[in-house]
A = this chain, B = another copy of it.
């Protein structure tokens, strides 16, 4: 994989670059946003590691710009412990996953591996569930052949459910996947998103097990 690392801290950046390189990926390390933007416009990356603590704090703009341009490259953001708000905003803006500083480098590789697995690199055959075809790599869904569009949160929910297809996934589990750790939710948001997914993908796409959780049939 080709990875773009955007991190202004020299020590941390170097450590991350070395670690990711050691995991067998090609890393381009940019310390400034405009360099990163330039790199993104010229190279096709398979993953972006984005620090949201950049001095000018405009890391989010880069992410938004990416998504606005229709790019679906996976983005993992890093934030400091206390920046829950920023983290949430990052997820809302289309980030795929996040890491809280200080994080362990092994954790970093784990997340990268997860992303790689999820987006299957070369082969993204498309998962078929009845009339629904999901392509996680390209971020597309079709229902009865007609393309359907999902929002960021809906994707995260769908991914979580498909990651354990056939198994029952608890609400807590989904909540953890949908929202940054530490960010509490004070409503039935999970139910709402399940409802939305059903409206788009079909009533029977997700089945409810009262008191246990949700499940997409194997």
Binding site for B on A (CB under 8 A): 84, 87-88, 91, 96-98, 102, 104, 106, 110, 114, 135, 137-140, 147, 149, 151-153, 155, 164, 166-168, 170, 172-173, 209-213, 215, 218
Q: Say how many copies of this protein the assembly contains.
A: 2
Cβ of B110 and Cβ of A91 under 8 Å apart?
no
Beyond A155-B212, A210-B152, A212-B155, whether A106 also contacts B167 by CB under 8 A is no
Cβ of A106 and Cβ of B173 under 8 Å apart?
yes
Q: Would you call the interface of chain A mostly helix, strand, loop, or mixed? A: mixed
Q: Which of B110, B155, B170 contacts A173 (CB 8 A)?
A: B110
How distant is the Cα of A106 from the Cα of B153 in the complex, in angstroms?
22
Q: A170: which B residues are within 8 A, CB to CB?
A: 106
How distant is the Cα of A173 from the Cα of B104 in the complex, in angstroms?
12
Cβ of B88 and Cβ of A149 under 8 Å apart?
no
Cβ of B106 and Cβ of A172 under 8 Å apart?
yes
Beyond A138-B166, A140-B166, A167-B139, whether A151 also contacts B211 by CB under 8 A is yes
Instruction: Find the B residue at minimum CB distance from A135.
Output: B167
